[in-house]
Amino acid sequence: LTVTPSTVATTPHSTPHPPQAVAHDTPAARTPAAAPRLPAPEPDRDTIAVIGMACRLPGAPDVATFWRNLTAGHLAVGEVPPERWDASRFHRPAQQPGRTVGKWGGFVDGIEEFDAGHFGLTDEQARCLDPTIRLFLETTADCLRDAGLEGPELAGRDVGVFAGARGTNYAARGGIRAEVPESDPNFVASHVGQHFDLRGPHLVVDSACSSSLVAVHLACQSLRSGESEAAIAGGSSVLLDESPYLEFSAAGALSPTGRCAAFDRRADGFVPGEGSVVLLLKPLHAALRDGDPVHGVIEGSAVTNDGRTMGLTTPNPAAQAAAVRRALRDAGRKPAEVGMIEAHGTGTAIGDPLEFRALRTVFDEDRDHRDGPCLLGSVKTNVGHLLHAAGAAGLLKALLAVRHGTVPPTLHCETPNPRLDLDDSPFALATGARDWPLPGRPRVAGVSSFGFGGTNAHVVVAEAPPAQLEAAGERRRSRPPIAFDRRRLWLDRPDGLSAPDGPTAPDGPTAPDGPPADGPAPRAALRLAFR
């Protein structure tokens, strides 16, 4: 786990949820006209409200579109756009050194465009910024707007920024990283703090695929400790060249069919994706006091590590189970209360059964008290594996599910993986959209995200408490996303081609069933220039 800089205390803080108020069966209680209105129960001071959320994801420029796509079972995965890189040059149906079996991904439209003026930047400054930063900046601005806030309202306040991100080689290819160090994605949180004048801790988290969910966990810790009064948390990840494809293909993790079939017997790997998800968090008692819109609540979270295994990338089901168990304990919830698990669900032959084993270890402990199955799903089947933003995408899906009372379908899941032994488990696969009515008690979901270096995160979310919201009233209203005036601001090749990393012509013939004649294809040695 890499955290830049290290300023947040990570001591677990947990207080069990108080019992809910119950109206006793008295004559007054049985007579609606005479029944006094009971005060709403005091919110647990450790519960964190989600008061703003925004996204820019494959096929979904905003949260509303994302939810429509999820419930409709929409697939937002396609072949690598030619303006990114020439996928045909690197793709081979069978694994070869320096080649990839994958040529598909979930891509965000208009990644090369940015509204520099909105953030007080010149075109030249914006052109130097890594798209990871630009995407997170725009999504943060939309998130604040969704919370009914203007940027100046937070200026000078103890608002933290916690971002899961990792750099690309965008700026380095242009030879500008040494000259403009703030273009490095390690500055993604600092750019948000600089623009909005935020004074809380600003961190960039890199724990691989669990980065953004770990960032949310750290944000909650900062809020609970009183270090931050509000926190911006999420992740941003972009795909600009073939590098991740070559790496994950060599590891045997990429799907050669271009479909992430999580928990299905056809599971053959994941499909990469890109995007950004940002949440604005605040202690629930403060959100109710201030009349903020509350989309849902985070009741608990936990982070563990696999420790010593057969290798750095080998999962440890016991450590994954520990993350789930600790998050439930932090939330004051029992496994039987959880109706949905948004799994890490990468669609790999080994990873899915191990994750399922970890979940069963925890949920079998309380299965006798369960009313119905816990529905299992993975957003990676819809938009791809967003890498450093993956956990935040799963969290957004879970928050929307508990809010709307619907569990969206998981795609490409027709025949369950026989290694899961679903029939003898507390789980069922969400192969179609399912209504999720729970009259009289809140809907609760768990979200998992595991980094291939061994850092495991789990977050427990629930629907916003209606009695408390009604008693407090909502004085701030969510507003639609900003209509950014985006223009193309991109580092281009000197020859004028628009590809962010357009490869040169193939450097030699390739044998039909063997490695390239000249070895692994080198990355294009191009000097990028400002246009």
Give the helix ranges, DSSP H, for 274-316: 284-290
Extended beta strands in 61-114, E state: 78-79, 104-105, 113-114
CA distances from 409 to 62, 263, 370, 382, 431 (A): 19, 13, 22, 9, 5
Average confidence (pLDDT) over 48-75: 98
DSSP letter (8 states) at residue 68: H
Distance CA 397, CA 374 (A): 16
Residue 451 lies in a domain: yes
What is the pLDDT at residue 490? 80
Kindly give, in sequence order, each residue whose CB lies less than 8 Å from that of residue 493, ignoring residues fewer than 6 positions away: 499, 502, 526, 528, 529
Whether the predicted pLDDT of 15 surpasses 60: no
Read off the pLDDT of residues 145-189 as tens digits, 9 standing for 90 and up.
Answer: 999 997 789 999 999 999 999 888 787 666 555 556 677 878 999
Say if CB 136 and CB 188 are below 8 A apart: yes
What DSSP character marks residue 404?
H
225 assigned to some structural domain: yes
Does 294 map to a domain? Answer: yes
5 in a domain, yes or no?
Answer: no
User: What is the reported pLDDT for 527?
Assistant: 24
146-150, 299-303, 477-481, 512-516 — most confident range: 299-303
Query: CB under 8 Å to 151, separation ≥6 — which residues?
Result: 141, 144, 195, 196
CA distances from 510 to 10, 89, 192, 254, 513 (A): 52, 10, 46, 22, 8
Q: Is residue 322 part of a domain?
A: yes
Domain assignment of residue 221, yes or no? yes
Out of 8-12, 77-81, 108-112, 357-361, pick the least confident. 8-12
Quote the tokens at residue 145.
């707007």
- Domains of the chain: total: 1
Burial label, 459 (beta-carbon count in 10 A; 0-12, 13-18, 19+): buried
| Mean pLDDT in residue range 465-492 | 79
**pLDDT at position 476:** 76
Tell me the residue range of the domain where 269 lies: 48-488
Whether the per-residue pLDDT at 213 is higher than 70: the answer is yes
Is the separation of the CB atoms in 158 and 229 below 8 Å? yes
Phi, psi of 182 (to 5 degrees): -70, -5
Q: What is the CATH number of the domain that holds 426?
A: 3.40.47.10
In terms of phi and psi (left: phi > 0; alpha: psi -120 to 50; beta: otherwise), the region of 164 is beta
* CA-based nearest residue to 95, from 524, 480, 414, 515: 515
Domain contains 374? yes
Comparing CA positions, the residue from 296, 350, 298, 299 lying closest to residue 320 is 350
What is the overall mean pLDDT for the chain? 84
The encoded tokens of residue 468 equal 């408390």
Structure tokens of 40? 């709403």
Question: Does residue 215 belong to any structural domain of this protein?
Answer: yes
Per-residue pLDDT for 290 more than 70? yes
